Amino acid sequence: MPRVSVLIPSYNHETYLPLALGDVLAQSFQDYEIVVVDDGSTDGSLKYLQSLGSRIRLFPQQNRGTYATLNRCIEEARSPLLAILNSDDRWMPDKLEKQAAVMDKNPSIGLVHTSGHFIDGEGNRLDSNPMGFPWPRTDQPNAIELFVRYNRIVPSSAMIRKVCFERLGGFNEFLFGLGDWDMWLRLALEYDIAFIDEPLTHYRVHATNASYQNQKMLIDECWIREHTIHEREADYWQRAPNLWGMRMALAHSYACLGTERAMLGRQKEARQAYWQSLRRCPWRLKSLYRIAWTYFKKR
């Protein structure tokens, strides 16, 4: 049995697939299998993947979406360590070697992710923050406060123990583009997380990224804050390494939820979220201003 399963969810990335698979084949760490689930691609992706023969384990399916495809990858994987590589992203040659070493030395670690760079459609490095945020990072094993604020892991940078999915369940398939954040939140409640501060992953930014479909992403983020975070606040308090830090993180999350609800036209619920933020952080003046804003914002 290989030590690592490389999971590649594939959908209409015929142009980028050879580069992604080339990066896997060029890894210094070679004890792996490649599991590819093609999610009903309509370009030449499937034909290309079929041409690779036994070098990959290929599972075509009708189109089911990102997180159903990832869950199928997990189901088909045979290894204790799983490394996700989106079919348009790239890896440096020593990524798997360094991540596997971290996992071997730290049995309490459930996930290890890496630093990286954003690249454009041609593979050129983007030195600005094209997604509106810098490359996500975690600076301590118990990173639950950070995840309450924002998503902190690029999926293609992550290596996860398969037992984590067996214990916690897979990705929520009804989510459109933030199912990874929902998963990392659930995982961070139970496991420590490691970070390799080296640019070992390249995330490709182009017009078809799910992150650019703002309305669907907004609905996802609202749902995650409502259900994955605030319906389970007792679990977050229990896991918190610092109670004051968690109080501030929850105040921040409620403020974000207020803005998201307002942008979705849910003004009354937005005010409720802002008040919850103020209960945890009374000097958060932004929330007072935003409560007033909800009365004037067009529905």
Output the pLDDT for position 208. Answer: 59
Same domain for 235 and 184: no
Same domain for 226 and 121: no
Same domain for 144 and 50: yes
Q: Pick from 155, 182, 208: which residue ends a domain?
A: 208
Number of domains in the chain: 2
CA distance 42 to 63: 10
Same domain for 180 and 41: yes
Same domain for 60 and 110: yes
Cβ neighbourhood burial of 272 (10 Å; 0-12, 13-18, 19+): middle
List all residues 6 or more positions away from 81 whose beta carbon is below 8 Å from its beta carbon: 3, 4, 5, 99, 100, 103, 159, 160, 161, 162
Same domain for 225 and 189: no
Q: Pick from 159, 191, 208: which residue ends a domain?
A: 208
Same domain for 253 and 114: no
Same domain for 158 and 262: no
Task: Answer yes or no: are the C-beta atoms of 34 and 62 closer than 8 Å.
Answer: no
Cβ neighbourhood burial of 217 (10 Å; 0-12, 13-18, 19+): middle
Q: Rounded to whole angstroms, what are the CA distances from 78 to 106, 174, 184, 198, 229?
A: 21, 25, 22, 28, 31
Output the pLDDT for position 287. Answer: 86
- Record the tokens describing residue 292, joined without a space: 């007033």
Output the pLDDT for position 127. Answer: 84
pTM of the model: 0.94
Blockwise average pLDDT, block size 10, the chain, 299 residues: 97 97 98 98 97 97 97 98 98 98 97 97 88 89 96 96 98 96 98 98 79 81 98 98 97 97 95 96 86 76
Same domain for 233 and 199: no
Q: Pick from 149, 175, 208: which residue ends a domain?
A: 208
Output the pLDDT for position 296. Answer: 80
Range(s) of the domain holding residue 279: 216-296
Output the pLDDT for position 65. Answer: 96
| E strand or H helix at 162 | helix 162-168
Neighbours of 40 (CB within 10 A): 16
**CATH no. for residue 232?**
1.25.40
Same domain for 220 and 157: no
Same domain for 259 and 150: no
CA distance 206 to 285: 37
Same domain for 257 and 140: no
**CATH no. for residue 155?**
3.90.550.10
